[in-house]
Structure 1
């Protein structure tokens, strides 16, 4: 028992050391976000076309990137040397990204239909008005669900869809946990009614609950790093992004927690946008379904279920985690380059 207590104190000390080192770190984000091409309410469409117009191929594919509603878009533009969006621009694409913000006065009563059939429809219209080649949709995490809903509505306007770590069967690998999330959603109804939104702090607690020991491990690890090392800088950049989340409008929170997690609505084809069931089988465009093998946030089985319902799908399984697939050291060769090659091949 004494040895166990000593080990517990040692690990707790490592945790505190890591947290204190994070709080004192001098890193500040320096990457400036791209200019706004279109906006409505708290939603912006940012234009990451940074290549010089002279000599630029006018047929460059246009890429509309859709992130999750609960996280800031800039994980896709974390730093200049860790930016999927800037990389796309440098490798022959015209990238645009949806910059969600927390619900304002207009968005407080929004459902997912309002976001997909409203805001994303208009964002796609804005991309279509710009000169260029075929348009691809790329959705990351929950953004993949939003992108799928948009793709089904606008098939004639797109050339293909890329789903990055997109959940579909929410009961695939841990049904009891998902059903518990649904019950929590129901118990939060008084909060949703009073505030009109699900606060970001509560969302953080939900995601931490997916892997409760990960928080301990990551700060213990950070405490062992040289504060001036690139690894420490990247850790702080990511942790700052994670702590800069977005609240969810109350109706969206109900759809996601109760509908998606509790009732498994996407897999059961009971999730509807503008009155129409979101059925992947109805998509007649090619899809690349990217399923990171070490994903702890979206279990691979959840994403794989989406591929089983798609008609024209290719599956890619990089050896990466949910966030590492987009910002890790091997993100470019293992994910970015194959995604770009797939879009070019279409």
Structure 2
């Protein structure tokens, strides 16, 4: 490139930067709305809130879906913005949607266990939905760690779940292709991390610690490259707002209740007890063989947090003869925010549920 070309490129970049800085200076909190789909609180227990999203069209199915998200990060990723909302797309297809919001654990929640989350909060929320609709069983949709919780719940309470959908859900925690699995202890087990020391010293595990852990799995892409790529669209206010909205979600990381974190890391990541048949939740053994209901397993082909092999292992351990797998060519977060996925994922779920309707 000659000097004139270089000067022109530098001028264009400087103009982009100037416009981007100007847009940044005008951004207000209300410009970065998240979770905009109208909803109402229908149940509250401690920090946990059960939301019901207001229907947009006449329901095409009589059985509602209860979404169970992970404890890490906030569940509004499934309702990120008006034109990128997994929840809104389900509503537009006539699905009645409920969502559990775990809130922000404080020091008062230090002693919460997986028993509290699964046999307590999830079970109570399921009962609320069942009572509101006069149903014996409802549809459960678990995402990431929430999918693992949903598997446990469906094993313990098969009489309350009609159909189970799990999305980007870890099942085999000893798949070595997953850096998170290796970090958690799939190779060195308890020698990988001293979980007891962490919890005993810190109480609750800080959300910032977990956030740094996830960023370090792909330090260049998540810590440098995305900011470089921002320069390509920094002069477009709509793209800038989208970027800030995602950053807001990424860094909105709740602390983790200490005892629940201890059990999840030791029993799942280090012990792999879910598939070993050794997992106990509240003195009840979790047997995936108890799951005989229809199951839809959705995974991301480029997932660096939950390797596809970890999700696909589910088929080996459940007893359901009605088992369906569907994948999308995206990463873990792309499953929620990719425009192309959102065109196809909600219809895939709805069509599957219609096939299971009585």
Determine the structure 2 residue equivalent to 1:226. Answer: 234
Structure number with larger C-alpha Rg: 2
Structure 1 counterpart of 2:326, from 303, 316, 333: 316
* TM-score, with structure 1 as normaliser: 0.85
For 1:238 and 1:279, the matched residues in 2 are separated by 37
Is 2:343 the counterpart of 1:333? yes
Deviations 1:185-208 (A, max 9, x none): 743544422442000011112212
How far residue 144 of structure 1 moved from its aligned partner, in angstroms, is 0.1
Is 2:248 the counterpart of 1:240? yes
Is 2:199 the counterpart of 1:196? no
Partners of 1:37 and 1:45 within 8 A in 2: yes
Deviations 1:277-311 (A, max 9, x none): 32322201110000110111111111111232223
For 2:178 and 2:338, the matched residues in 1 are separated by 29
Q: 1:114 to 1:66 in 2, by over 3 A?
A: same
Deviations 1:88-122 (A, max 9, x none): 22211110000011224653211111100000000
Determine the structure 2 residue equivalent to 1:264. Answer: 272
Superposition RMSD in Å = 2.7
* TM-score, with structure 2 as normaliser: 0.83
For 2:183 and 2:338, the matched residues in 1 are separated by 31
Structure 2 counterpart of 1:142, from 140, 145, 152: 145
Structure 2 counterpart of 1:253, from 239, 261, 286: 261
Is 2:48 the counterpart of 1:43? yes
Contiguous gaps of at least 5 residues in structure 1? 1-16
Partners of 2:38 and 2:54 within 8 A in 1: no
For 1:217 and 1:135, the matched residues in 2 are separated by 43
Aligned residues: 326
How far residue 23 of structure 1 moved from its aligned partner, in angstroms, is 7.4
Contiguous gaps of at least 5 residues in structure 2? 1-16
For 1:87 and 1:132, the matched residues in 2 are separated by 25
Partners of 2:302 and 2:332 within 8 A in 1: yes
Aligned runs of 1:95-244 on 2, under 5 Å? Answer: 95-104=97-106, 107-131=109-133, 135-174=138-177, 178-182=181-185, 186-187=193-194, 189-215=196-222, 216-228=224-236, 230-244=238-252
How far residue 341 of structure 1 moved from its aligned partner, in angstroms, is 1.0
Deviating more after overlay: 170-179 vs 250-259: 170-179
Is 2:307 the counterpart of 1:303? no
